[in-house]
Amino acid sequence: MTFRIAQISDTHLSDEKPYFVDSFGRVGEALRADRPDLVLNSGDISLDGASNDGDLATARALHDGLDLPLRYLPGNHDLGDSQDSPSHGEGRIDGTRRARYVAHFGADWWTFDVPGWRVLGIDAQLLASDLAAAGEQEAAICEAVDGIDGRKLALFLHKPLFDRDASEGAITGRFVNPVPRRALLAALAGVAPALVACGHVHQFRESRVDGVHHVWAPSTAFVIPDARQPRYGIKDVGYVEHRLEADGRHESRFVKVHGLPLLSIADFPGAYGQL
């Protein structure tokens, strides 16, 4: 048995600034034709949901229109950035912003099982947070790996754990920072995920580090010119299909959506630092 997850990310949906709604609609058409078992949005669902409840409502309504099984994880645009992030264009996560997100999209961390696998989704912005929910999430992570019973672990979150390896010491807004990264790995209690899938970097890339398959999903909304991010992967719009097999094997592939108005971040002057 194969369980297929279509991971979308960084949809950046808004009613007041509907720059990327058409692209989302085209991706939705491709998803409905593909009929995955689950569509998973790994964050930055909205453009400015951290401060605009209307963006959260619009993003939820557009996702409901897909008429497909859905799960969500928050990004910095949805409830504010990590408290240890040096960049806070959206402001920091706080209890009010988190509650607003949960009201629209439900739990910001969750787990479920399919044959051969445990799928764990976490709120990356809670890592290094002083909110009480951060401790609750950590307890849930410990519980998830404690009862994994031989299944493979697939971990989904908004931000990549790192660029090249877990020893990186840079403090940035792009990756999970060193202290919360170590705390997360400690909570996993030696259970190495077979798959770690995220968004946030707006580009597709896959790598293998210490036997773990790391996959970055592209944005459904726009591409980044090569001059902006020369180090990173494919600059295309689409989604990632993860195929989880009952025997523990898995495969992830980038699915390019054709026929899109291929929007570049250069088309939105001044928006790059916000996206």
Return the H-helix or E-strand segment holding 251: strand 250-256
Tally of domains in the chain: 1
- Asked whether residue 274 is domain-assigned, the answer is no
Residue 271 falls inside a structural domain:
no
Cβ partners under 8 Å of residue 271, min gap 6: 265
Domain-embedded: residue 202:
yes
In-domain check, residue 213: yes
pLDDT of residue 221: 85
In DSSP terms, which residues pair with 81 in a beta bridge?
92
The pLDDT value recorded for residue 46 is 97
- Domain membership of residue 272 (yes or no) is no
Residue 33 resides in a domain: yes
Q: In this structure, which amino acid lies at residue 43? A: G
Positive or negative CA dihedral for 115, 117, 119, 120? positive
The answer to whether the beta carbons of residues 182 and 139 sit under 8 Å apart is no
In this predicted structure, what is the pLDDT of residue 175?
95
Range of the domain at 241: 2-266
CATH code: domain of residue 254: 3.60.21.10
Blockwise average pLDDT, block size 10, the chain, 275 residues: 96 92 92 97 96 97 97 97 82 96 98 98 95 97 95 98 94 93 95 97 93 95 64 75 98 87 64 50
In a domain, 273, yes or no: no
What DSSP string runs through 1-29? -EEEEEEE----B-SSS-TTHHHHHHHHH
Residue 184 maps to a domain? yes
Whole-structure pTM value = 0.94
Crossing angle of helices 53-64 and 95-105, rounded to 10°: 20
